[in-house]
Amino acid sequence: MGGGPLDAEGDGRGVSDDRPGDRTDTRLVTGGRRAEWTQGIVNPAVWRASTILYDSVAEMRARHHDTHEKLYYGRRGTPTQWSLADALTGLEPGAEGTLLYPSGVAAVTTALLAVLKPGDELLMVDSAYEPTRAFCGNILKRNGIRTTFYDPLAGAAIADMIGPDTRAIFMESPGSLTFEVQDVPAIVAAAKARGCVTLIDNTWATPLYLPVMAMGVDLSILACTKYVVGHSDVMMGSVTASAALWPALRAATHALGQCVSPDDAYLAARGLRTMSVRLARHQESALKVARWLEAQPEVARVLHPALPSCPGHALWQRDFSGASGLFSFILDGGDDAARTALIDGLRLFGIGFSWGGFESLAIPSDPASIRTATRWQAEGPLVRLHIGLEDADDLIADLAEGLARFRAVRG
Protein backbone atom coordinates (compact mmCIF):
# COMPACT_ATOMS: atom_id res chain seq x y z
CA MET A 1 0.00 0.00 0.00
CA GLY A 2 2.90 2.37 0.64
CA GLY A 3 2.57 5.57 -1.36
CA GLY A 4 -1.08 4.96 -2.28
CA PRO A 5 -3.40 7.94 -2.38
CA LEU A 6 -4.86 7.11 1.01
CA ASP A 7 -1.49 7.62 2.62
CA ALA A 8 -1.58 11.27 1.67
CA GLU A 9 -1.39 13.59 4.64
CA GLY A 10 -4.19 16.08 5.12
CA ASP A 11 -3.09 18.91 2.87
CA GLY A 12 -5.69 21.49 3.74
CA ARG A 13 -7.85 20.84 0.69
CA GLY A 14 -10.27 18.62 2.58
CA VAL A 15 -12.72 19.93 5.09
CA SER A 16 -12.01 19.54 8.76
CA ASP A 17 -14.98 17.92 10.44
CA ASP A 18 -13.61 17.80 13.95
CA ARG A 19 -15.13 20.94 15.40
CA PRO A 20 -17.75 19.76 17.88
CA GLY A 21 -18.90 23.35 18.35
CA ASP A 22 -20.18 23.66 14.79
CA ARG A 23 -23.94 23.74 14.43
CA THR A 24 -25.86 20.91 12.79
CA ASP A 25 -26.36 22.54 9.38
CA THR A 26 -22.61 23.16 9.16
CA ARG A 27 -21.82 19.59 10.15
CA LEU A 28 -24.17 18.29 7.46
CA VAL A 29 -21.92 20.02 4.93
CA THR A 30 -18.48 19.33 6.43
CA GLY A 31 -19.08 15.88 7.95
CA GLY A 32 -16.99 12.99 6.63
CA ARG A 33 -14.99 15.15 4.24
CA ARG A 34 -11.54 14.41 5.65
CA ALA A 35 -8.68 15.37 3.33
CA GLU A 36 -7.35 11.81 3.14
CA TRP A 37 -10.78 10.63 1.97
CA THR A 38 -11.65 13.43 -0.48
CA GLN A 39 -8.19 14.03 -2.00
CA GLY A 40 -9.41 17.57 -2.64
CA ILE A 41 -12.61 16.57 -4.43
CA VAL A 42 -15.78 17.98 -2.86
CA ASN A 43 -17.56 14.60 -2.70
CA PRO A 44 -15.46 11.57 -1.68
CA ALA A 45 -15.14 9.31 -4.72
CA VAL A 46 -16.71 5.88 -5.16
CA TRP A 47 -14.01 3.43 -4.07
CA ARG A 48 -14.98 -0.06 -5.24
CA ALA A 49 -13.18 -2.98 -3.65
CA SER A 50 -13.31 -6.56 -2.55
CA THR A 51 -9.62 -7.53 -2.38
CA ILE A 52 -7.14 -5.12 -0.83
CA LEU A 53 -3.49 -5.85 -1.69
CA TYR A 54 -0.75 -5.69 0.94
CA ASP A 55 2.98 -5.19 0.41
CA SER A 56 3.93 -8.16 2.57
CA VAL A 57 2.64 -10.90 4.81
CA ALA A 58 3.83 -8.90 7.80
CA GLU A 59 1.76 -5.90 6.74
CA MET A 60 -1.26 -8.12 6.11
CA ARG A 61 -0.99 -9.54 9.63
CA ALA A 62 -0.44 -6.15 11.22
CA ARG A 63 -3.54 -4.66 9.55
CA HIS A 64 -5.72 -7.40 10.99
CA HIS A 65 -5.45 -5.89 14.47
CA ASP A 66 -6.74 -2.46 13.50
CA THR A 67 -9.24 -2.43 10.66
CA HIS A 68 -11.42 0.54 11.61
CA GLU A 69 -11.33 3.12 8.79
CA LYS A 70 -8.37 1.30 7.25
CA LEU A 71 -8.41 -0.58 3.95
CA TYR A 72 -8.54 -4.25 4.95
CA TYR A 73 -11.15 -6.12 2.91
CA GLY A 74 -14.09 -4.80 0.87
CA ARG A 75 -16.67 -5.92 3.40
CA ARG A 76 -15.20 -3.51 5.97
CA GLY A 77 -15.71 -0.62 3.56
CA THR A 78 -13.65 2.00 1.81
CA PRO A 79 -13.43 5.77 2.30
CA THR A 80 -16.80 6.09 0.54
CA GLN A 81 -18.65 4.22 3.29
CA TRP A 82 -16.47 5.58 6.12
CA SER A 83 -17.18 9.13 5.04
CA LEU A 84 -20.96 8.65 5.19
CA ALA A 85 -20.73 6.84 8.54
CA ASP A 86 -18.52 9.58 9.94
CA ALA A 87 -20.92 12.30 8.78
CA LEU A 88 -23.83 10.49 10.46
CA THR A 89 -21.88 10.13 13.72
CA GLY A 90 -21.22 13.86 13.64
CA LEU A 91 -24.96 14.55 13.83
CA GLU A 92 -25.28 12.75 17.18
CA PRO A 93 -23.30 14.51 19.92
CA GLY A 94 -22.04 11.87 22.36
CA ALA A 95 -21.90 9.05 19.80
CA GLU A 96 -18.85 6.85 19.29
CA GLY A 97 -19.44 5.59 15.75
CA THR A 98 -21.86 4.53 13.02
CA LEU A 99 -22.16 1.41 10.87
CA LEU A 100 -24.11 1.04 7.63
CA TYR A 101 -26.57 -1.68 6.55
CA PRO A 102 -28.23 -2.68 3.27
CA SER A 103 -31.68 -1.59 4.56
CA GLY A 104 -33.34 -0.04 7.57
CA VAL A 105 -34.65 -3.46 8.58
CA ALA A 106 -31.10 -4.88 8.49
CA ALA A 107 -30.03 -2.03 10.80
CA VAL A 108 -32.87 -2.79 13.25
CA THR A 109 -32.24 -6.54 13.31
CA THR A 110 -28.45 -6.27 13.64
CA ALA A 111 -28.78 -3.75 16.49
CA LEU A 112 -31.12 -6.13 18.33
CA LEU A 113 -28.83 -9.12 17.76
CA ALA A 114 -25.89 -7.05 19.02
CA VAL A 115 -27.44 -6.63 22.47
CA LEU A 116 -29.66 -9.70 23.04
CA LYS A 117 -28.80 -13.30 23.93
CA PRO A 118 -30.91 -16.40 24.68
CA GLY A 119 -32.86 -15.99 27.93
CA ASP A 120 -33.12 -12.21 27.61
CA GLU A 121 -36.36 -10.25 27.50
CA LEU A 122 -36.89 -7.35 25.09
CA LEU A 123 -39.45 -4.61 25.75
CA MET A 124 -40.78 -3.52 22.34
CA VAL A 125 -43.07 -0.55 21.73
CA ASP A 126 -46.51 -1.62 20.51
CA SER A 127 -46.51 1.00 17.73
CA ALA A 128 -43.29 -0.30 16.16
CA TYR A 129 -42.74 -0.63 12.42
CA GLU A 130 -44.31 -3.93 11.35
CA PRO A 131 -41.14 -5.77 10.15
CA THR A 132 -39.48 -4.85 13.48
CA ARG A 133 -42.36 -6.55 15.29
CA ALA A 134 -42.18 -9.54 12.98
CA PHE A 135 -38.48 -10.06 13.76
CA CYS A 136 -39.34 -10.37 17.46
CA GLY A 137 -41.90 -13.05 16.70
CA ASN A 138 -39.70 -15.17 14.45
CA ILE A 139 -35.88 -14.93 14.67
CA LEU A 140 -35.68 -13.59 18.25
CA LYS A 141 -38.29 -16.04 19.54
CA ARG A 142 -36.57 -18.96 17.84
CA ASN A 143 -33.35 -17.94 19.61
CA GLY A 144 -34.90 -17.96 23.07
CA ILE A 145 -35.39 -14.20 23.35
CA ARG A 146 -38.76 -13.16 24.75
CA THR A 147 -40.50 -9.97 23.60
CA THR A 148 -43.04 -8.09 25.69
CA PHE A 149 -44.87 -5.28 23.90
CA TYR A 150 -45.57 -2.07 25.81
CA ASP A 151 -47.87 0.94 25.44
CA PRO A 152 -46.10 3.71 23.50
CA LEU A 153 -47.44 6.19 26.08
CA ALA A 154 -46.04 4.21 29.06
CA GLY A 155 -43.32 6.77 29.89
CA ALA A 156 -41.80 6.35 33.37
CA ALA A 157 -44.27 3.51 34.07
CA ILE A 158 -42.03 1.32 31.91
CA ALA A 159 -40.05 0.78 35.13
CA ASP A 160 -42.82 -1.55 36.37
CA MET A 161 -42.29 -3.80 33.34
CA ILE A 162 -38.55 -4.26 33.77
CA GLY A 163 -37.89 -7.73 35.14
CA PRO A 164 -34.75 -9.70 36.01
CA ASP A 165 -34.25 -10.83 32.39
CA THR A 166 -35.05 -7.52 30.71
CA ARG A 167 -31.98 -6.58 28.72
CA ALA A 168 -33.18 -3.97 26.24
CA ILE A 169 -35.97 -1.46 25.58
CA PHE A 170 -36.78 -0.56 21.98
CA MET A 171 -38.50 2.73 21.12
CA GLU A 172 -39.85 4.24 17.92
CA SER A 173 -40.98 7.81 18.44
CA PRO A 174 -43.32 8.73 16.97
CA GLY A 175 -44.70 5.41 15.69
CA SER A 176 -44.60 5.60 11.91
CA LEU A 177 -48.29 4.70 11.38
CA THR A 178 -50.06 6.03 14.45
CA PHE A 179 -47.62 8.75 15.63
CA GLU A 180 -47.73 8.38 19.42
CA VAL A 181 -44.77 10.34 20.83
CA GLN A 182 -42.81 8.50 23.52
CA ASP A 183 -41.23 9.91 26.69
CA VAL A 184 -37.66 9.06 25.65
CA PRO A 185 -35.90 10.69 28.66
CA ALA A 186 -38.18 8.89 31.16
CA ILE A 187 -37.68 5.53 29.45
CA VAL A 188 -33.91 6.04 29.23
CA ALA A 189 -33.79 6.94 32.94
CA ALA A 190 -35.80 3.83 33.90
CA ALA A 191 -33.57 1.65 31.72
CA LYS A 192 -30.34 3.07 33.12
CA ALA A 193 -31.53 2.57 36.69
CA ARG A 194 -31.88 -1.17 35.96
CA GLY A 195 -28.89 -1.65 33.68
CA CYS A 196 -30.94 -2.05 30.49
CA VAL A 197 -29.85 -0.97 27.03
CA THR A 198 -32.04 1.44 25.02
CA LEU A 199 -32.50 1.46 21.24
CA ILE A 200 -34.58 3.84 19.15
CA ASP A 201 -35.77 3.84 15.57
CA ASN A 202 -35.25 7.56 14.90
CA THR A 203 -36.18 7.51 11.22
CA TRP A 204 -39.08 10.00 11.50
CA ALA A 205 -37.30 12.81 13.36
CA THR A 206 -33.71 12.07 12.26
CA PRO A 207 -30.92 13.38 14.52
CA LEU A 208 -31.71 16.87 13.21
CA TYR A 209 -35.01 17.05 15.10
CA LEU A 210 -34.21 14.60 17.92
CA PRO A 211 -30.53 14.03 18.80
CA VAL A 212 -31.15 10.88 20.80
CA MET A 213 -27.56 9.99 21.74
CA ALA A 214 -27.38 13.23 23.74
CA MET A 215 -30.51 12.02 25.57
CA GLY A 216 -28.65 8.90 26.69
CA VAL A 217 -29.94 6.36 24.16
CA ASP A 218 -27.38 3.61 23.44
CA LEU A 219 -28.20 2.71 19.82
CA SER A 220 -29.85 5.09 17.34
CA ILE A 221 -31.24 3.48 14.19
CA LEU A 222 -32.12 5.19 10.93
CA ALA A 223 -33.77 3.83 7.82
CA CYS A 224 -31.52 6.01 5.65
CA THR A 225 -33.74 4.86 2.76
CA LYS A 226 -36.04 7.65 3.92
CA TYR A 227 -34.75 11.17 4.59
CA VAL A 228 -30.98 10.61 4.37
CA VAL A 229 -31.19 9.28 0.81
CA GLY A 230 -34.20 11.49 0.16
CA HIS A 231 -34.73 10.54 -3.49
CA SER A 232 -36.46 7.10 -3.32
CA ASP A 233 -33.65 5.35 -5.17
CA VAL A 234 -31.42 3.64 -2.55
CA MET A 235 -32.03 1.18 0.31
CA MET A 236 -29.81 1.84 3.35
CA GLY A 237 -29.80 1.69 7.14
CA SER A 238 -27.48 2.94 9.87
CA VAL A 239 -26.88 2.35 13.56
CA THR A 240 -25.07 4.95 15.65
CA ALA A 241 -23.67 3.67 18.96
CA SER A 242 -22.55 5.00 22.30
CA ALA A 243 -18.97 4.19 23.36
CA ALA A 244 -20.25 1.41 25.64
CA LEU A 245 -22.18 -0.38 22.86
CA TRP A 246 -19.78 0.28 19.98
CA PRO A 247 -17.70 -2.90 20.40
CA ALA A 248 -20.81 -5.13 20.56
CA LEU A 249 -22.35 -3.43 17.53
CA ARG A 250 -19.15 -3.82 15.49
CA ALA A 251 -18.78 -7.47 16.47
CA ALA A 252 -22.37 -8.36 15.49
CA THR A 253 -22.20 -6.35 12.26
CA HIS A 254 -18.98 -8.02 11.17
CA ALA A 255 -20.15 -11.50 12.21
CA LEU A 256 -23.34 -11.11 10.19
CA GLY A 257 -21.42 -9.88 7.14
CA GLN A 258 -23.34 -6.63 6.89
CA CYS A 259 -22.05 -4.11 4.37
CA VAL A 260 -23.28 -1.62 1.75
CA SER A 261 -22.07 -0.88 -1.76
CA PRO A 262 -19.90 2.21 -2.25
CA ASP A 263 -22.28 3.43 -4.97
CA ASP A 264 -25.18 3.39 -2.53
CA ALA A 265 -23.08 5.05 0.18
CA TYR A 266 -22.14 7.76 -2.31
CA LEU A 267 -25.78 8.48 -3.14
CA ALA A 268 -26.78 8.47 0.53
CA ALA A 269 -23.97 10.92 1.37
CA ARG A 270 -25.12 13.15 -1.47
CA GLY A 271 -28.65 13.10 -0.07
CA LEU A 272 -27.41 13.85 3.44
CA ARG A 273 -25.92 17.22 2.41
CA THR A 274 -29.39 18.61 1.65
CA MET A 275 -31.35 16.82 4.36
CA SER A 276 -31.83 19.91 6.52
CA VAL A 277 -33.29 22.10 3.73
CA ARG A 278 -35.48 19.25 2.50
CA LEU A 279 -36.76 18.50 6.01
CA ALA A 280 -37.61 22.17 6.57
CA ARG A 281 -39.84 22.14 3.46
CA HIS A 282 -41.35 18.73 4.30
CA GLN A 283 -42.16 20.12 7.75
CA GLU A 284 -43.73 23.35 6.51
CA SER A 285 -45.86 21.70 3.82
CA ALA A 286 -46.92 18.77 6.02
CA LEU A 287 -48.10 21.15 8.73
CA LYS A 288 -50.06 23.18 6.20
CA VAL A 289 -51.75 20.06 4.81
CA ALA A 290 -52.35 18.64 8.32
CA ARG A 291 -53.98 21.86 9.56
CA TRP A 292 -56.17 21.99 6.46
CA LEU A 293 -57.22 18.36 6.92
CA GLU A 294 -58.06 19.04 10.58
CA ALA A 295 -60.69 21.56 9.44
CA GLN A 296 -62.43 19.22 6.97
CA PRO A 297 -65.74 17.65 8.05
CA GLU A 298 -64.76 14.27 6.51
CA VAL A 299 -61.74 14.03 8.82
CA ALA A 300 -62.22 12.83 12.40
CA ARG A 301 -58.63 13.33 13.64
CA VAL A 302 -55.17 14.17 12.35
CA LEU A 303 -52.26 12.25 13.88
CA HIS A 304 -49.37 14.69 13.51
CA PRO A 305 -47.03 15.14 16.50
CA ALA A 306 -47.04 18.93 16.11
CA LEU A 307 -50.83 19.09 16.49
CA PRO A 308 -52.49 18.91 19.94
CA SER A 309 -54.79 16.05 18.79
CA CYS A 310 -51.77 13.69 18.53
CA PRO A 311 -51.10 11.43 21.57
CA GLY A 312 -47.87 12.64 23.16
CA HIS A 313 -48.00 16.09 21.54
CA ALA A 314 -46.70 17.73 24.76
CA LEU A 315 -43.65 15.44 24.66
CA TRP A 316 -43.01 16.40 21.05
CA GLN A 317 -43.14 20.06 22.10
CA ARG A 318 -40.73 19.43 24.95
CA ASP A 319 -38.15 17.20 23.21
CA PHE A 320 -38.22 17.68 19.42
CA SER A 321 -36.98 20.65 17.43
CA GLY A 322 -39.09 19.88 14.38
CA ALA A 323 -41.49 17.56 12.58
CA SER A 324 -40.94 15.76 9.31
CA GLY A 325 -43.34 15.13 6.45
CA LEU A 326 -45.05 11.89 7.51
CA PHE A 327 -48.39 11.78 9.35
CA SER A 328 -51.78 10.08 9.30
CA PHE A 329 -55.40 11.10 9.44
CA ILE A 330 -58.54 9.22 10.42
CA LEU A 331 -61.62 9.54 8.31
CA ASP A 332 -64.98 10.21 9.93
CA GLY A 333 -66.80 6.96 9.31
CA GLY A 334 -66.75 5.20 5.97
CA ASP A 335 -65.28 1.86 5.08
CA ASP A 336 -62.34 0.54 3.09
CA ALA A 337 -64.16 1.15 -0.21
CA ALA A 338 -64.71 4.82 0.63
CA ARG A 339 -61.06 5.19 1.67
CA THR A 340 -59.94 3.45 -1.51
CA ALA A 341 -61.98 5.88 -3.61
CA LEU A 342 -60.12 8.74 -1.90
CA ILE A 343 -56.64 7.26 -2.45
CA ASP A 344 -57.02 5.67 -5.90
CA GLY A 345 -57.99 8.91 -7.60
CA LEU A 346 -55.20 11.09 -6.16
CA ARG A 347 -53.20 12.78 -8.90
CA LEU A 348 -50.08 13.93 -7.02
CA PHE A 349 -49.81 11.29 -4.28
CA GLY A 350 -48.25 7.99 -5.30
CA ILE A 351 -49.50 4.75 -3.74
CA GLY A 352 -46.44 2.97 -2.41
CA PHE A 353 -44.40 1.84 0.57
CA SER A 354 -41.58 3.80 2.10
CA TRP A 355 -41.38 7.60 2.37
CA GLY A 356 -38.80 10.38 2.79
CA GLY A 357 -38.33 11.04 -0.92
CA PHE A 358 -39.18 14.27 -2.73
CA GLU A 359 -42.58 12.91 -3.80
CA SER A 360 -45.84 12.68 -1.91
CA LEU A 361 -47.33 9.29 -1.04
CA ALA A 362 -50.61 8.00 0.39
CA ILE A 363 -51.35 4.53 1.78
CA PRO A 364 -54.22 2.91 3.68
CA SER A 365 -53.29 1.29 6.98
CA ASP A 366 -55.23 -0.75 9.53
CA PRO A 367 -53.26 -0.69 12.80
CA ALA A 368 -55.83 -2.66 14.82
CA SER A 369 -54.63 -6.03 13.55
CA ILE A 370 -50.96 -5.27 14.31
CA ARG A 371 -51.23 -4.39 18.01
CA THR A 372 -51.20 -6.58 21.10
CA ALA A 373 -50.44 -4.42 24.18
CA THR A 374 -52.88 -1.66 23.35
CA ARG A 375 -56.17 -1.46 21.48
CA TRP A 376 -56.49 0.67 18.37
CA GLN A 377 -59.81 2.45 18.27
CA ALA A 378 -60.71 4.98 15.62
CA GLU A 379 -63.74 6.72 14.15
CA GLY A 380 -63.01 5.40 10.67
CA PRO A 381 -60.25 4.15 8.37
CA LEU A 382 -56.73 5.58 8.52
CA VAL A 383 -54.73 7.13 5.67
CA ARG A 384 -51.00 7.78 6.00
CA LEU A 385 -49.50 10.60 3.99
CA HIS A 386 -45.96 11.53 3.15
CA ILE A 387 -45.87 15.16 2.11
CA GLY A 388 -43.21 15.70 -0.53
CA LEU A 389 -41.70 18.81 -2.01
CA GLU A 390 -44.58 19.72 -4.34
CA ASP A 391 -46.50 22.96 -3.74
CA ALA A 392 -48.62 22.37 -0.62
CA ASP A 393 -51.66 24.10 -2.13
CA ASP A 394 -51.62 21.71 -5.09
CA LEU A 395 -51.52 18.80 -2.63
CA ILE A 396 -54.46 20.29 -0.71
CA ALA A 397 -56.48 20.64 -3.92
CA ASP A 398 -55.75 16.99 -4.76
CA LEU A 399 -56.86 15.90 -1.28
CA ALA A 400 -60.00 18.05 -1.46
CA GLU A 401 -61.07 16.11 -4.55
CA GLY A 402 -60.17 12.89 -2.71
CA LEU A 403 -62.39 13.80 0.24
CA ALA A 404 -65.24 14.51 -2.20
CA ARG A 405 -64.83 10.99 -3.64
CA PHE A 406 -64.78 9.59 -0.10
CA ARG A 407 -67.99 11.46 0.76
CA ALA A 408 -69.69 10.19 -2.39
CA VAL A 409 -69.02 6.54 -1.47
CA ARG A 410 -69.57 6.91 2.30
CA GLY A 411 -72.85 8.75 1.86
* Burial category of 383 from C-beta neighbours within 10 Å (exposed 0-12, middle 13-18, buried 19 and up): buried
Indicate whether 374 belongs to the interface with ligand PLP (CB under 6 A). no
Query: Near ligand PLP by CB under 6 A, which window of 22-30, 88-96, 219-227, 266-274?
Result: 219-227
Residues 106-127 as b/e (b if ≥16 CB within 10 A, e otherwise) read bbbbbbbbbbbeeebbbbbbbb
Q: Residue 363, interface with ligand PLP (CB under 6 A)? A: no
208 Ramachandran zone, left/alpha/beta (phi>0; psi -120 to 50) = alpha
Using rule CB under 6 A, residue 232 touches ligand PLP:
no
Does residue number 178 form part of the binding site for ligand PLP (CB under 6 A)? Answer: no
For residue 120, indicate whether it is catalytic.
Answer: no
Q: Which of 37, 129, 320, 329 binds ligand PLP (CB under 6 A)?
A: 129
Q: How far apart are the first and last CA of the chain?
A: 73
Q: State the minimum distance, in angstroms, from the CB of residue 320 to ligand PLP.
A: 15
Spot the catalytic one: 34, 76, 167, 226: 226
The only residue of 109, 110, 127, 176 in contact with ligand PLP, by rule CB under 6 A: 176
Site string for ligand PLP, 187-216 (x = CB under 6 A): --------------x-x-------------
Catalytic annotation present for 75: yes
Which of 32, 79, 104, 312 is the binder for ligand PLP (CB under 6 A)? 104
Q: Does residue 354 bind ligand PLP (CB under 6 A)?
A: yes
- Contact predicate 243/92, CB 8 Å: no
Q: Is 201 a catalytic residue?
A: yes
CB 72 within 8 A of CB 52: yes
Task: Give the total of residues touching ligand PLP (CB under 6 A).
Answer: 15
Q: Where are the alpha helices (DSSP H) in 194-328?
A: 206-209, 246-255, 262-273, 275-294, 313-319
Burial of 55 per CB tally in 10 Å (0-12, 13-18, 19+): exposed
Establish if 235 lies at the interface with ligand PLP (CB under 6 A): yes
Binding string, 236-265, against ligand PLP, x = CB under 6 A?
A: -x----------------------------
Smallest gap from residue 224 Cβ to ligand PLP (A):
7
Q: Which of 101, 144, 146 is nearest to 123 (CA)?
A: 146
336 given a catalytic annotation: no
| Helix intervals (H) in 90-212 | 104-115, 130-135, 141-142, 184-193, 206-209
Does position 103 interact with ligand PLP (CB under 6 A)? The reply is yes
Nearest residue to ligand PLP by CB is 104
Closer residue to ligand PLP, CB minimum distance, 239 or 299: 239
* Phi/psi of residue 410, nearest 5 degrees: -65, -40
**3-state SS class at 320:** coil
Nearer CB in complex with ligand PLP: 47/170: 170
**Residues between 317 and 336 with contacts to ligand PLP, criterion CB under 6 A:** none
Torsion of the alpha carbons at 166, 171, 176 and 181, rounded to the nearest 10: 120
- In the complex, the smallest distance separating the C-beta of residue 175 from ligand PLP, rounded to whole angstroms, is 8
Binding range to ligand PLP, per CB under 6 A, among 99-107, 157-165, 255-263, 297-305: 99-107
Strands 97-101 and 237-241: antiparallel
d(CA 82, CA 263): 13
Residues at the site binding ligand PLP, with contacts judged by CB under 6 A: 103-105, 108, 129, 172, 176, 201, 203, 223, 225-226, 235, 237, 354
Residues annotated catalytic, as ranges: 75, 129, 201, 226
